[in-house]
Amino acid sequence: MAKVIVYPPTSMILSDLVERTGHKALVVPEQVRKLVTSTEIESPPLNMTPEEPKKGLRYAAVDVPSGVRGRMALIGPLIEEADAAIIMEDPGWLTGCAGCNRTNELVRLLIRTKGIPVLDLKYPENDSQAREFVRKIKAFLEGLK
Amino acid sequence: MIRIAELSCGAEYSGIQKEIERAAETVGAKIVYPEVSLDDILNVEEKFGVRVSSGDLNMAMARAVRIVENPDLADAVIVMTCFRCAEAAIIRSEIRKFIHERSRIPVLSYSFTERTTAETLLTRMEALVTTVKYRGLLGRERQTGLTAGIDSGSTTTKSVVMRDNQVIGTGWVPTTEVIKSAEDAFAAALKEAGVQKEEVQGLGVTGYGRFLVGKHFNARLVQEEITVNSKGAVFLADAQQGPATVIDIGGMDNKAIAVQDGIPGGFTMGGICAGASGRFLELTSRRLGVDITELGKLALKGNYQNVAMNSYCIVFGTQSLVNSLSMGCKPEDVAMAACHSVAEQVYEQQLQEVEVKEPVIMVGGTSLIEGLPRAMEELLHLKVKVPPHAQYIGAVGSALLVSGLLEG
Amino acid sequence: MLVTKYIITSTESSILPSDIAMKIYGSGYDLNVKETCFGVIINGEEKVVNEAVREIRALDPAGIFIKDRGFPPGDPRRCRGRRGGGARPGYYMIESESKLLPMISRALASEAGPEEKAEAPLERKPLDIKRLEEIIEEELS
């Protein structure tokens, strides 16, 4: 079983396809879960505090906007843990945890420079592209076993 | 309950969303998020004019469009994005303009870091709520009866007594002990006016020390400086109708307020750099060996371009001034360089965040340092107005507004 | 550890969110279940959630999709009713991906079938500069 980071890191389709093949999808909701189920903090909605942008300093300098560093505190550890990655071309509708393009650029850069196997894809627009999409993911994930 | 629509990017991830909500709650407001559909976000360029690569900024723009189309969705708007994000800085400013030009909803624009706290946001939120809640009171153009105002500032405490739309007494003291200074300034104003404290029908209080002073004197009106100062400025400058821009460079913070018919429509408040404050000019005058009241006149004779200033900082900027003196620069050039430095920092960091419309009114004690309004005129390429009693702006605004409360 | 997952059905799936909820109730899993417009949200001990997910997937292997969720169902911190309206930002991503699910479902269903070549995307080549000049002259003459 490989740990596969998916980009966008909140993608339902990618995380589902990864888990179907018996691998572990590394996704942001698991990080959010750790925060929101922590009883010690009371900072709604995400229970993020100024501590997260500080943790993000591990991935980006202090002159990088706090929202980027805060997001990196969630996504950075997933990149560190990843054995492989699937990266989608920006579909133009990323919001929330993936709603900052500066963060997204940094995430893609850190994944690519890590030297792990990366599968680059586009969201499909028709049935034959969808079949190709599923097939490529399956082949990529089988190659990780 | 006042509804403040939050149009933001990065607040949750900076860990400050709770601070925004706490500040709103403290001033009796609730944060709301206008509903938008996925199509509203994807097609935002059609109605707003641009779509950017960060989805959360597109969402903020889509929400701005929704508010302009349905102004009853919110009473006020805050536009907040991460400090140092260029993409967000452009969009934040454009959202502010978009709402300002298409509605009467007041807008507060702010860039935050993870260090932004509810306390930082409080005065700004209070002003935002006041403009909504007391629209009728803020529309008041005449002072009636015998009222007084106290402006308990960080550096100086000012007081005025007003009767039938005229300032009849003023008092000015450096702020030491907050209540003691307020008592002294008030006593001086009463003495000049020739009236007894008991005769005053209503007292309004503003400034940093407003809560303490307001409680001490049992003031009828205790109000933040943004609404009070803009009211005082347009009153004294005789610009109560139509647009105006108020610039107040204080001892510890600066305000830039876009006013329409005497009511703030948008404003910014800066307060982390002493280099953009009256303190910088005070240090310069001390170094030049002239009284602060003489610094402005001296500056008018100088040329800032003859002095190389490497920094706006009160430490390193002052160092540049000292160095230039030792290299033979004239004191008048140094005086003007200091005025230009303060004006330029306010111009760069604050006046970009509000709509600058004429008349531009400069107020507060620093506006009497003639070089400062001159430097601002050069930067803005337009005439700057310094009204009479400009240093008593907050006290005048308080005395004017409190008279509105007396009529019930 | 308590975990929360979305179970999202493709619009072309014959399985309805209520079918999934009934399945969970019928199998006696100790889970919180909340029906939504996309499917259902389930919350419970990780082991139980994973078992239930396996069983639910079997209802329509190509038409049911699973996604992790950080917040428990109905969490007031994320509930739009309590937080002054407006969908939470992640909602738009689920909505966008949900529109693609029928295609993905059909692709998954055809997985067992014979391999066919995907339609090659149209190659976008800039117009030859000579040809552009000809067009400009034609149009302007």
DSSP code string of B341-366: HHHHHHHHHTGGGS---SSEEEESGG
- Residue C75 placed within a domain: yes
DSSP class of residue B252 equals S
Beta strands in C1-141 (DSSP E): 2-9, 32-35, 39-45, 64-69
Q: Name residues whose C-beta falls within 8 Å of residue B282's C-beta, 6 or more positions apart in sequence.
A: B292
Please report the pLDDT score of residue B356 as a whole number: 87
Mean pLDDT of B316-323: 80
Do β-strands A84-88 and A118-121 pair in parallel, antiparallel, or remain unpaired? parallel
Contact A49 B15 (CB under 8 A): yes
**Over the range A16-41, which residues count as b (16 or more CB within 10 Å of their CB) and which as e?**
bbbbbbebbbbbbbbbbbebbbeeee
- Is B2-133 assigned to CATH 3.65.10.10? no
Cβ-based contacts of B55 with chain A (< 8 Å) = 92-96, 98-99, 101
> Do the chains contact at B17 and A92, CB–CB below 8 Å?
no
Say how far residue B238 (Cα) sits from the centre of its chain: 19
Domain B239-386: homologous superfamily in CATH: ATPase, nucleotide binding domain (3.30.420.40)
Amino acid identity of residue B295, one-letter, is L
Separation in Å, CA of A85 to nearest CA in chain C = 17
Domain boundaries, chain B: 2-133, 146-224+393-406, 239-386
B76-82 and B2-9 beta bridge pairing:
parallel
Cα nearest neighbour of A95 on chain C: C89
Q: What secondary structure letter does DSSP report for C80? A: T
pLDDT of residue C116 exceeding 60, the answer is no
Q: Is the peptide bond before A8 cis (omega within 30 degrees of 0)?
A: yes
Residues of B in contact with C80 (CB under 8 A): 33
Mean pLDDT, range C58-75, rounded to an integer: 91
Structure tokens at B294: 């003489």
Decide if B2-133 and B239-386 have a common fold.
no
Distances from the Cα of B121 to the Cαs of B17, B35, B211, in angstroms? 12, 25, 17
Instruction: Supply C73's token pair.
Output: 């169902």
- Suggest the residue from C78, C92, C96, C100 to mutate for an interface test with chain B (most B CBs closer than 10 A): C92
B271 falls in which pLDDT band (50, 70, 90)? low
Other chains touching C, judged by 3 or more CB pairs under 8 Å: A, B
Determine, for residues C116 and A15 on separate chains, whether the beta-carbon distance falls below 8 Å: no
**How confident is the model at residue C122, as a pLDDT?**
62
Q: Which residue has the tokens 């579909």?
A: A91
Nearest to A134 among C6, C67, C104 (CB): C104
Domain at C76, CATH number: 3.30.70
Inter-residue contact C90 to A97 (CB < 8 Å) = yes
Distance from the C36 Cα atom to the nearest Cα atom in chain A, whole angstroms? 16
At residue C120, does pLDDT exceed 70?
no
Q: Per-residue pLDDT averaged across A99-119, rounded?
A: 97
- Ranges B164-173, B348-357, C109-118: which has the least confidence: C109-118
> Which residue range(s) make up the domain with C105?
2-112
ipTM of the complex: 0.95
Higher pLDDT, C19 or C78: C19
Domain count, chain C: 1
pLDDT category at B314 given cuts 50, 70, 90 is confident
Residue B38: closest C-alpha in chain C: C92
Report how far residue C98's alpha carbon sits from residue C95's, in angstroms, rounded to the nearest whole number: 5
Return the minimum-mean-pLDDT range out of B55-69, B194-208, B252-266, B356-370.
B252-266
Residues of B in contact with A93 (CB under 8 A): 38, 41-42, 55
**Which residue in A45, A54, A65 is closest to B84 by CB distance?**
A65
- Residues of chain B neighbouring A9 (CB-CB closer than 8 A): none
- The distance of A69 to chain B (nearest Cα, Å) reads 8
**Closest CB from B33, B55, B56 relative to C85:** B33
Is residue C140 situated within a structural domain? no
3-state secondary structure at position B388: coil
Look at the block and give the residue holding tokens 């460079």: B249
Q: Which residue ranges form the domains of chain A, and what is each CATH number?
A: 3-142 (3.40.50)
Taking only the tens place, the pLDDT of each residue in B127-137 is: 889 888 888 88
Residue C123, min C-alpha distance to chain A (Å) = 15
**Which of A5, A11, A12 to mutate to test binding with chain C, by most C CBs within 10 Å of its CB?**
A12
A44, A45, A93 member nearest C93 (Cβ): A93
Confidence of residue B120 (pLDDT cuts 50, 70, 90): confident
- C38 Cα to chain B: minimum distance (Å): 15
Is residue C64 situated within a structural domain?
yes
Structural domain includes residue C135? no
Residue range B221-248, pLDDT digits in tens:
999 888 899 999 999 999 999 999 999 9
Under an 8 A CB cutoff, do A45 and C77 touch? yes
Query: Which residues in C lie closer than 8 A to residue B32 (C-beta atoms)?
Result: 84-86
Contact indicator for B226, B124 with CB cutoff of 8 Å:
yes
Cβ distance of C104 and A130 shorter than 8 Å: yes
Q: Does the distance separating the beta carbons of C77 and A97 come in below 8 Å?
A: no
Burial (CB count <10 Å: 0-12, 13-18, 19+), residue B35: middle
CATH of B146-224+393-406, one of 3.40.50.1820, 3.40.50.150, 3.40.640.10, 3.30.420.40: 3.30.420.40
- pTM of the complete model: 0.84
B366's CB contacts (< 8 A; 6+ apart) are B249, B250, B278, B281, B342, B372
Give SS3 for A4: strand
Instruction: Choose between A104 and B338: higher pLDDT.
Output: A104
B197: nearest Cα among B205, B209, B189 = B189
Residue B298 has pLDDT above 80, yes or no: yes
